[in-house]
Chain A
Amino acid sequence: MKYVILFLEFFKIGLLAIGGGMASLPFLHEMVQKYGWITEDELINMIAVSEATPGPIGTNVATYVGYTIGGVPGALIATLSEVAPSVLIITLLARWLPTWSKNKIVQGGFAAVRPAVAGLIGAVALGLARSEFLRVDGWQLGTLLQNVDWAGLGTGAVLFLLLQRYDWHPVLVIVGAAAVGIVLGL
């Protein structure tokens, strides 16, 4: 049953995650909440390792999640199901795709999906920021300030600056953050 769910979930991701590796994130986050096979923290760890390992981030995360949930068969099922929809679409429809992709209606569809996907990832970012920077679940506004993990939030602000302002490479940011985590004992 686990393998059937893995197949269905990752096939869905391959079909609907449009716009790069991070676009699969909202679906993975939903999976974490729905099945509870892995925790939110584990998912974030997996994204970090996937980002710092060669290969497309999307397939790296699929392999990691699949392997953690179902061992080697789980890894194979998750990764292969994720690439299956596009392989099917491309090999079956290759002849028509160049024409279709120029069609105004198809372009309109994709143009609308892109900002929506950005919003979906934004929602994941908010959820993860809450669980990383607040010590409690939810947004209790009255006690918000007491529950903020200031060391974590400060580290995040510095990392954001390095990324946004000084254009650090993501892998460098991850390695730097690991060092900070050890030194500060976060």
Chain B
Amino acid sequence: MTSLWDLFFTFARIGLFTFGGGYAMLPMIQREVVERKKWATEQQVLDYYALGQATPGIIAVNTATFLGYDRRGVIGGIVATLGMIFPSLVLIMTLATLIAQAQEVTVVQHAFRGIRIAVVVLIVHTVLKMARRTVTSVRGGVLFAAALVLISLAGISPAFVVIGAAALGAGYAAWTARRTPGVEGGDEA
């Protein structure tokens, strides 16, 4: 049986050695979990990763929860998750203290001014990438534009936009499934 320590440290190592989260984490999970530990097959990891995207929360963390749960049940899921976030906690708290002190120095302030511009650019880049991937129909375009406008101009909470979009999408899928029975019926549960 897989020990909880082993779960914790394996996922802590994955958390420690990957930059960028999400997709960037997949090869590291493959190497540690599939090749070294043989806890899952490559296909299982890909399946969990896909499921992790269809579950709320951080994709990399979700994948870890699935794999831990698979090994040791509920406790395994929790331990794998804690392992995954442990390096973040330690590293960020250490850095936060150091950076707060360094902020007093003028050179560091200039550096951070440059860095903030980079972050804005990175976010714009992410939006364009996400829009290209997710806006594939007129409906998608309307949702994209509606979310942007509602938040920017009307100051509506993002929570309402997410819940509203989910309800609209689910409602629309249910409606088309009823209109074309047998074609898009889903799994009639």
Q: Give me the interface of A with B, judged by CB distance under 8 Å.
A: 12, 14-22, 25-27, 30, 41, 44-45, 47-60, 63-64, 67-68, 72, 75-76, 79-80, 82-83, 85-87, 89-91, 94, 97-99, 101-129, 132-133, 152, 155-156, 159-160, 163-164, 170-171, 173-174, 176-182, 184-186
* B114 CB contact (under 8 Å) in A56, A101, A102, A180: A180
Main secondary structure of the interface of B (DSSP, over half): helix
A48-B115, A63-B92, A64-B92 known; A86-B130 Cβ under 8 A: no
Q: Which of B101-160 contact A (CB under 8 A)?
A: 107, 110-128, 130-131, 133-135, 139-141, 143-148, 151-152, 157-159
B117 to chain A, nearest CB (A): 5
How many angstroms from the CA of A15 to the CA of B163 in the assembled complex? 10
Tell me whether B46 is interfacial, beta carbon within 8 Å.
no
B168 to chain A, nearest CB (A): 5
- Nearest residue, chain A, Cβ from B184: A104
B99 to chain A, nearest CB (A): 7
A90 near B122 with CB under 8 A, answer: no
Main secondary structure of the interface of A (DSSP, over half): helix
Residue numbers in A under 8 Å from B81 (CB-CB): 83, 87
A18-B162, A102-B187, A115-B143 known; A120-B151 Cβ under 8 A: yes
A64-B96, A177-B114, A178-B112 known; A97-B55 Cβ under 8 A: yes
B59 near A125 with CB under 8 A, answer: no
> Which of B73, B125, B170, B171 has the largest count of A CB atoms less than 10 A from its CB?
B170
A17 near B57 with CB under 8 A, answer: yes
A21 near B51 with CB under 8 A, answer: no
A99-B187, A105-B174, A127-B152 known; A122-B144 Cβ under 8 A: yes
Q: Which of the four size classes fits the interface of chain B?
A: 35 or more
Chain A-chain B contacts (Cβ-Cβ < 8 Å), number? 365
How many angstroms from the CA of A152 to the CA of B117 in the assembled complex? 7
* A56 CB contact (under 8 Å) in B25, B126, B170: B25
Tell me whether B172 is interfacial, beta carbon within 8 Å.
yes
B115 near A111 with CB under 8 A, answer: no
A177 near B118 with CB under 8 A, answer: yes
* B96 CB contact (under 8 Å) in A44, A67, A132: A67
* A18 CB contact (under 8 Å) in B56, B65, B121: B56
Tell me whether B61 is interfacial, beta carbon within 8 Å.
yes
- Nearest residue, chain A, Cβ from B125: A163
